[in-house]
Amino acid sequence: MTRFVNVAAAQMGPIAKSETRTQVVARLIALMREAKARGAELVVFPELALTTFFPRWLIDNEAELTQYYERAMPGPETQALFDEAHRLEIGFYLGYAELAQEDGRLRKFNTSILVDRRGVIIGKYRKVHLPGHSEPQAGRQHQHLEKRYFERGNTGFPVWRGFGGVMGMCLCNDRRWPETYRVMGLQGVEMVLLGYNTPFDHTGHDDIDALTSFHNHLSMQAGAYQNATWVVGTAKCGTEEGSKMLAQSVIVSPSGEIVSMASSIGDEVITAKADLDIGKRYRETIFDFARHREPESYKLIVERKGAMPPPLADEVSLG
Ligand code: CDT
């Protein structure tokens, strides 16, 4: 029996600093309704989808900073999104800044949740790969202070059964790392959901930043193909508080092909009827991990002499 997930990516245009949660949630609900009207059973929102991308600023005032975080999910302003999901019978992925009372202290994470068609949270992921810096960088028009405002996520990369398949989550910079997909791939993931905020000046090097769009799709297409999984990548984009951010949200098949892509730099829903058995075919043939992976050969052979070039003076363990 063929298994399909009707999935939507709900790309968002900029969120102004002055926009309230209630206003943003109203935008999310409008996108959710459109996704449902177009047949989706699952809609993927961006990373930090409830606020402007605040890591672009140095914010020293703790009270001002914590306004960007959610203390509860759902909370007073986000409950309406869960209620609407329940009413429409549509699931969703949502990225947000999380303030958690954990281990006797307040902890900050860049988080995403997976919510089922009853409006119940079935999965939570906390971003592992935090890009940027913990200290402001001189000479940069926009900072990228994720390392200052979030702790490294402590969830690892779990997968969840839902929507008739095996679902995984990650957030933005995670999509550039092969380990992200492979850890989920080894658990049989069939669809990876991810949101991103990618400023066009994200490295500060013109030659790299000119390839922002190419590297975005390259990462997701490679991750999808090499792990036989669908990837749904959803942008927050456009010019947000003076920072230009990449759009081009995509739904990528396990073949590595982009089957749907956003064409605007604003709020836009794209959809696909994702056949999970495409991934199964790849996993049973070219990417049959049990038959073809060679984990023994991936270990660093420290003792080996002769066959490898001599180490450089500053070379350290590959970790
Ligand atoms: N949000 C996020 O992770 N953005 C990064 C770019 C910033 S690197 C300083 C990304 O990988 O898209």
Hey, what amino acid is at 255?
S
Does 196 sit in the ligand 1 pocket, CB within 6 Å? yes
Does residue 316 lie in a domain region? Answer: no
Does 180 sit in the ligand 1 pocket, CB within 6 Å? no
Using CA atoms, how far residue 100 sits from 73, 126, 246, in Å, is 10, 11, 30
CA–CA separation, 228 vs 293, rounded Å? 14
Q: Is 127 a catalytic residue?
A: yes
Does residue 312 lie in a domain region? Answer: no
Does residue 274 lie in a domain region? Answer: yes
Q: Which two tokens stand for residue 183?
A: 């850890």
Residue 122 burial class via C-beta count within 10 angstroms: exposed 0-12, middle 13-18, buried 19 and up: middle
Residue 312 burial class via C-beta count within 10 angstroms: exposed 0-12, middle 13-18, buried 19 and up: exposed
Give me the tens of pLDDT residue by residue for the chain, a chain 319 residues long.
Answer: 789 999 999 999 999 999 999 999 999 999 999 999 999 999 999 999 999 999 999 999 999 999 999 999 999 999 999 999 999 999 999 999 999 999 999 999 999 999 999 999 999 999 999 999 999 999 999 999 999 999 999 999 999 999 999 999 999 999 999 999 999 999 999 999 999 999 999 999 999 999 999 999 999 999 999 999 999 999 999 999 999 999 999 999 999 999 999 999 999 999 999 999 999 999 999 999 999 999 999 876 555 555 666 566 555 555 4
Of 41, 47, 70, 98, catalytic: 47
Q: Is 47 a catalytic residue?
A: yes
What pLDDT is attached to residue 1? 72
Indicate which residue's Cα is closest to atom 3 of ligand 1. Answer: 173
What pLDDT is attached to residue 187? 98
Does 175 sit in the ligand 1 pocket, CB within 6 Å? no
Does 53 sit in the ligand 1 pocket, CB within 6 Å? no
Minimum-distance ligand 1 atom for the alpha carbon of 176 = 11
Alpha helices in the chain (DSSP H): 21-37, 62-66, 79-88, 146-149, 178-185, 206-209, 212-226, 276-284, 289-292
Does residue 318 lie in a domain region? Answer: no
If you measure from the C-alpha of residue 77 to the centroid of ligand 1, how many angstroms do you get, rounded to a whole number? 27
Does 219 sit in the ligand 1 pocket, CB within 6 Å? no
Q: If DSSP codes are grouped into helix, strand and coil, which group holds residue 282? A: helix
What pLDDT is attached to residue 309? 63
**Which residues form the domain of 69?**
4-304
What pLDDT is attached to residue 239? 98
Indicate which residue's Cα is closest to atom 12 of ligand 1. Answer: 198
Pairing of strands 250-252, 238-240: unpaired
Closest CA to 31 of 47, 11, 48: 11
If you measure from the C-alpha of residue 165 to the centroid of ligand 1, how many angstroms do you get, rounded to a whole number? 28
Residue 301 burial class via C-beta count within 10 angstroms: exposed 0-12, middle 13-18, buried 19 and up: exposed
Asked whether the CA dihedral 37, 220, 188, 74 is positive or negative, the reply is: negative
Does residue 170 lie in a domain region? Answer: yes
At 228, which CATH number? 3.60.110.10
If you measure from the C-alpha of residue 313 to the centroid of ligand 1, how many angstroms do you get, rounded to a whole number? 32
Q: Is 172 a catalytic residue?
A: yes
Computed on alpha carbons and rounded to an integer, the radius of gyration of the chain in Å comes to 20
Cβ proximity of 84 and 30 under 8 Å = no
Pairing of strands 4-11, 42-44: parallel
Does residue 30 lie in a domain region? Answer: yes
Does residue 245 lie in a domain region? Answer: yes
Does residue 257 lie in a domain region? Answer: yes
Q: What values do phi and psi take at 193, rounded to 5? A: -105, 135
Which of 52, 173, 176 has the most ligand 1 atoms within 8 A of CB, as the residue to mutate?
A: 173
Does 202 sit in the ligand 1 pocket, CB within 6 Å? yes
CA–CA separation, 164 vs 161, rounded Å? 7
**Number of domain units in the chain:** 1
Of 124, 127, 237, 240, catalytic: 127
